Structures are given as C-alpha cells and as structure tokens.
Structure 1
Amino acid sequence: MILTILLVSLLAFSGHASAVSWYFLRYYPASGEKFTSFSGEMTIPPIPRAATYYLWPGLQPTDNSGVYQNVLDGRSGTWWIGSGWCCSNPSLPWGSGFNTYSAEKITFENKLDSSGSTWTSTLTRQSTGEKVTNSFALASKSFNQALFAIELYDVSWDFGQLAFSNVVITSTGTDSSWCNTTPENYNSATTYSITGLSASASGGTVTCKLGSVILQKPA
C-alpha cells in the first residue's frame, strides 16, 4: 500500500495526527536493475506561509523501509533544504542544509560511491555557491523507485508549480526502456509535464536524462 510504504517520509517530524495530501511522480527501473544516482536542479517556489510543506526528489528501496530524500521544508515560513534518510531501519542522523528563497535554483546530487558502500548527497545553492555534502550508510538498500514528490500536512497546494530541470537518473543494467515510459502519477492527482527526455545504455549503466519535470498543479 502506497501510503504505508512511501512515504513514511517526514510524517515522524510533524508530531501529531495530520491530514496528508500526496502528489508525486515515480519511475521504476527495469526488473533486476537498481538506481545508482539521482541529480538535477530544483527551482524554489514562493512560500505563502509557515506550514508543513515538504517538497522533494527522493529514492525508495525495494524493501519499502524508508525514503532517501532532499527535502525542501516550509514549516518555519522560510524554505530550508537538507538531505536525509527517513526514518528508521537504519536510524541515521539528518544531514545539514541551508535556507533558500523563491526563484533560486538548488542543485541536488545523490550518488552511490564507486565502492558501493555509501550514498553521498550534495546540495548547492546556485545564487551564492553555498554547498553541503553528507554521506549516508545506505549500501544495504537497493533503490528501485525515483520520486518527484509534494507532501502536504493540513495545507493545500498553494505555492504554484514545482519545477525540476537537468535531471539525470542512472541505474545498473542495459534496459533503458523505463526512462521512455510515462512515470506513475499517484492517484492521477497531479497535472505535470516532462520535456527533453533521452535514454541510453553503456557499460552496464543506464542513463536517463530529463530536461524538465514540472509538477504544475493538482489535477
């Protein structure tokens, strides 16, 4: 069931029972393949108020034990972005982050190192060059879901579109057909657009490039 799998996400941080709304697109690699990197740029939307907005790209493993995410968090009334694994199995400290503001672009990169032992996340605020890098002991996880997500608690989608650009997702294997397949649109809840798609496979690595992924509004 999707809401018990996924999106365990940041619910633990809210501290009380809340009405949650989900909007997300999800890619799966070919059978037997797993994701090895996920990068791109996120354009920061306006923030109408302090509320529990969580906007993020992320990876989820085959065992559905959590989500590895770069989360744009609006609870303070100013956007803050940081990377982490939520929420247990294993229990890991959340990474560092920084404040960011409407219309800025944040570069995110999540990558399994060459030894296959550690995932590393790097976030860069393009307007200032501010950068944070954190590593997470997630080598035991086989990530087979790549998500572009909007997670809302007791608040509506009132901040406009959420735009990603220059997205690159890699997986193991030789079958790139998953990249050319329409992603899952959870509950058909989101009006979205994808442009600039290309897929290739070489040397046992599949590379999926997406020029833009825009979650435009509720369907």
Structure 2
Amino acid sequence: MKSSLTTFFLTTTLASAQDWHFVAFTTPNGQEFISQSGNMIVPPIHEAATNYLWPGLQSTDNSGVYQNVLDGRSGSWWFGSGWCCSNPSLPWGGGFNANGGDVLFFNNSRDANATQWVSVIEKNCGEAFATNTFPIADKVMNDAPFAAELYGAWDFGPVVFEDVVLIATGSDTGFCTEYPWNYNGATNVSVVGVQASVDVDTVTCSIESITLWGPA
C-alpha cells in the first residue's frame, strides 16, 4: 500500500515537485477511510513559491488525491478543496485567502448514500467557509497523507495539523496506533496524542497533533 502511494505521487503532474515531505496513515486491506477532519495552522509566508501544504486522501487505484490545499503561489496563502488530477477530471472547489496564524478547519466525508464526498472548510470559526461536493464515492480511500509538497524552499516553518480525526470502516486499529509512514524518512515529524476506538464496523482515530517540522 505504501508503494502504491509513492507510485501515484511520482507519476502525476504534481510529482515534478523538488521535494516531497509527508506522513501517511494506511488502512489494511478490506478497510477504507470514510472521513478525515481536523485543523491546519497557517504558517507565515515570505514570498511567492509553488508550495502546497495539505491533508488528503488517496484511492487504491492510484487515480488521484482528494485534498484541502494551502497554496502559496501568489505570495499569499489560498486554501481550497479539490480532486487532483484526473480520472475523473473535476473543477477545483471554492476556497479563500488565509494568513499566518489562521486556523483552518477541514472535514472531508463520504455521504451516507456513498454517492459523493463532501468537503467543508472554514477559517477562524466562521470568518470564511466553503462547501464543495465531488462525485468520487466509488474510490476506495486507503491512504491519508499529511503533506508539504515543495517546488520552492521550506522557508515557512513547521506545518501543524491539530485535532485530527480519521474514521475508517472495519475494526483493525493498527493504521492509527502504529507510527505513520514517513516517506523516505525525509521529514522531521512528531505525532502526539493518538487514540483509537472501535464502534460497530467503524474505527475512529483521534490525533492531538501532527507536526511536519522541516526536512530531515
């Protein structure tokens, strides 16, 4: 499963990035993610650079990544949701500008009828928000990366995700309680406050914080 994630990243148009820095939580065979939520703390930005910071979900067929992306290309941050990049080809969802120190909430959930995924993003408890739907419910989401995708320099400090909740089908909690995959050992990472609980055919993984401190 780890190799399939790498294969997608290294063969998409995004994968011309100079540096990949991410950790990924991976469900075992027969389980899949049905929800991902949390907060991302916006780091400072010093200059325009093609850098993308994001939580996301990847499907088992390597056809794309479902993301909430903090985009620094304009010289200020913009936050929005989307499916990248093909199969299907979909328009990017709505979003909003963000500044250093802002708290960005994200919630990606497959709807109860399993017809689409719904993304809700919000800044500073209601200062700005956007809701978008994506017809990708046929995708089996088995990887949950938290990533800094860099085409420029890592000059913005740590990337912090807080109050993360991953919900998966099944009963195996290993994807939560085992340390996530650190791609190529490329990133200094800390994962704090991990707890797993099992309900009827559902695992809830709660994580106090995931911090990408910088390149290893």
TM-score interval (norm. to shorter)? over 0.9
Letter of the 1:183 counterpart: P
Question: 1:176-195 residue pairs with structure 2 within 5 A?
Answer: 176-195=173-192
Aligned to 2:131: 133
CA separation in 2, counterparts of 1:104 and 1:11? 26
Letter of the 1:184 counterpart: W
Question: 1:134-213 residue pairs with structure 2 within 5 A?
Answer: 134-153=132-151, 155-213=152-210
Alignment CA distance shift 1:67-1:7 (3 Å): farther
Give the root-mean-square deviation of aligned CA atoms. Answer: 1.6
Letter of the 2:153 counterpart: S
SS at match of 2:67: strand
Letter of the 1:207 counterpart: T
CA separation in 2, counterparts of 1:163 and 1:212? 7
Alpha-carbon deviation of 1:29?
Answer: 1.0
Question: 1:52-63 residue pairs with structure 2 within 5 A?
Answer: 52-63=50-61
Aligned to 2:8: 5
Structure-1-length-normalised TM-score: 0.93
Greater displacement, 18-27 / 66-75:
18-27
CA separation in 2, counterparts of 1:203 and 1:167? 21
Percent of residue pairs identical = 51
Letter of the 2:46 counterpart: P
Alpha-carbon deviation of 1:156?
Answer: 1.5
Aligned to 1:214: 211
Are the equivalent residues in 1 in contact too, given 2:35–2:108 (CA < 8 A)? Answer: yes
**Is residue 50 from structure 1 mapped to residue 53 from structure 2 by the alignment?**
no
Alpha-carbon deviation of 1:130?
Answer: 1.2
Aligned to 1:122: 120
Alpha-carbon deviation of 1:129?
Answer: 2.7
CA separation in 1, counterparts of 2:17 and 2:94? 28
CA separation in 1, counterparts of 2:125 and 2:55? 20
Alignment CA distance shift 1:9-1:113 (3 Å): farther
SS at match of 1:89: coil
Which runs of 5 or more residues in structure 1 are unaligned?
13-17
CA separation in 2, counterparts of 1:135 and 1:19? 27
Structure-2-length-normalised TM-score: 0.94
**Is residue 97 from structure 1 mapped to residue 100 from structure 2 by the alignment?**
no
Letter of the 1:79 counterpart: W
Aligned to 2:75: 77
Are the equivalent residues in 1 in contact too, given 2:17–2:149 (CA < 8 A)? Answer: no
Greater displacement, 195-204 / 126-135:
126-135
